[in-house]
Chain A
């Protein structure tokens, strides 16, 4: 199977602690790759390194078989990302955001295409309203539209359901599945919502204190979880949650 992303020995040390420690994983093409970890496990740091926001202390990152360090422009042209809570320009409207981010990606789509994209994420009726008037959920959708504006091969979504109501979460889930299954996009999703991850992820990486704890398909993880004694306890209804907590809680 073709690998879209390969990470080898990725390490990030700050002055007084190590956020990511010798992390290695690979993301198959066309999959939804779940990225799990407690708060402070190093997920966001890892994602920021993938997106060149942070320089790794050590290790190598290869996108589409090419080193990121020497192919930044080519790689980022094929990526779309939401990093943590999406912050946007409050004084600009949705359409203006898409115009800006499409130009930053080196493309100049027509307005109609941008409007279609906004409609796809459920903002067709608010495209000329200033983002300052958007709810949190609407900003999340606009951020996703900005990530999709260059029709990326790989999407990196850090907490994409943050601030969304249950309907919004369900819509986001459907969109992720649609982008993966129908358009063949590879999607890396970092989330705290293990139940959501259970529903969408094909592969999962679990990290704790910057180190890889587990990397496997969702299917095999759930099988392993099913063999644990934990699943015998009635209050532990969610296998993935149970397995995750067993791995990451001291």
Chain B
């Protein structure tokens, strides 16, 4: 019962801070801007991906530019930047309180340090989920209202996947769920870094830098990194939400409805993300329990 009281208090504090709503406002703005840009320049955007094939195929540009495509484009852009918004809240959880001097007031109450960290983590996780629901509302529902619905075309580096519109919605639900796993992992990393700091700027910047560095390592496709770091780098697995839009096909080249290309890879990625979240959280608890609160 005490844990739920602490969780309620942490959620109350998170959602009473004006800073929290910056993220929601920013996401809404970014999504609307992307939707506007695609409404105006969507055809050129699609032709960029299909330029090499315009001699061979009639590209159904108008059909491709539909609400599902726009939603994937939005997620592609936003989920690179949302870790910053998550770090803004999670990185402030301990360090912000230390900087503000309120941590010592919390720590003198009959709440165990483990309970406090877990409650802050849970509050961060709920914040992430609400952020994603907000994103889903604008990115998916909003895009469908603005652009209509049709089959979804997903452009990969070396191929493209067409998914029937009757086979799409569950993929978005799964993708958002996976994105939540990824962002909760980011939150747990931020909380771990927050435990070491007395100022929230450090953990926030550190989290973003770590994500950027590992993303660059992953995209460089240098063989030594691909064999050693990339398979275990959390940024590799954070992109797993896209995996729900990669479909299997038969030998005849026909996609299999309801299928996912290499589903075990997604399972592995999910487990790795959960593993990282657990490890970061346990480390945060371990460090915080031993830490002298001098702020």
Contacts and interface: CB of A to CB of B under 8 A. Distances in A.
Direct contact of A and B (CB under 8 A): yes
Interface of A: 48, 51-55, 72-77, 79, 81, 83-92, 96, 100-101, 103-106, 143, 146
A86 B111 CA distance: 19
12 contacts: A48-B104, A51-B108, A55-B292, A81-B108, A85-B101, A87-B104, A89-B100, A92-B16, A103-B8, A104-B110, A104-B111, A106-B5
A73 B102 CA distance: 19
B110 A105 contact: yes
A52 B74 CA distance: 48
B229 interface: no
B109 A105 contact: yes
Given A48-B293, A91-B18, A101 B109 contact: yes
A87 B105 CA distance: 8
A103 B16 contact: no
A76 B109 CA distance: 6
A91 B5 CA distance: 20
Contact of A104 (B18, B109, B290): B109
Given A51-B108, A76-B108, A87-B105, A100 B9 contact: yes
A106 B18 contact: no
Contacts of A48: 104, 292-294
Interface residues of B, number: 26
A79 B110 CA distance: 9
Contacts of B156: none
B189 to A, nearest CB: 25
B108 A53 contact: yes
B5 A103 contact: yes
| Minimum-distance CB pairs A-B, first 4 | A87-B101, A76-B110, A104-B109, A53-B293
B23 to A, nearest CB: 16
Contacts of A88: 102, 105
Most buried by A among B5, B9, B16, B108: B108
Contacts of A146: 105
A72 B108 CA distance: 10
Contact of B104 (A75, A83, A96): A83
B283 interface: no
A135 B178 CA distance: 47
Nearest to B2: A106
Contacts of A87: 100-102, 104-105
Contacts of B109: 76, 101, 104-105
Interface string B95-136: 000001110111111111000000000000000000000000
A75 B108 CA distance: 10
Interface in B256-295: 290, 292-294
Interface in B1-54: 2, 5-6, 8-9, 12-13, 16-18
Contacts of A86: 101, 105
A58 to B, nearest CB: 15
A48 B293 CA distance: 8
A83 B108 contact: yes
Given A55-B292, A87-B100, A89-B13, A101 B110 contact: no
B294 A100 contact: no
Nearest to A83: B104
Interface in B153-202: none
Nearest to A82: B105
Nearest to A104: B109
Contacts of B18: 91
Contacts of A51: 104, 107-108
A5 to B, nearest CB: 15
A123 to B, nearest CB: 17
B100 A73 contact: no
A103 B4 CA distance: 10
B5 A73 contact: no
Nearest to A92: B16
A162 to B, nearest CB: 13
Contacts of B108: 51-53, 76, 79, 81, 83
Nearest to B18: A91
A48 B108 CA distance: 9
Nearest to B9: A100
Nearest to A73: B110
Nearest to B108: A51
Contacts of B9: 100, 103-104
Contacts of A100: 9, 12-13
Contacts of A74: 110
A104 B1 CA distance: 11
A92 B101 CA distance: 15
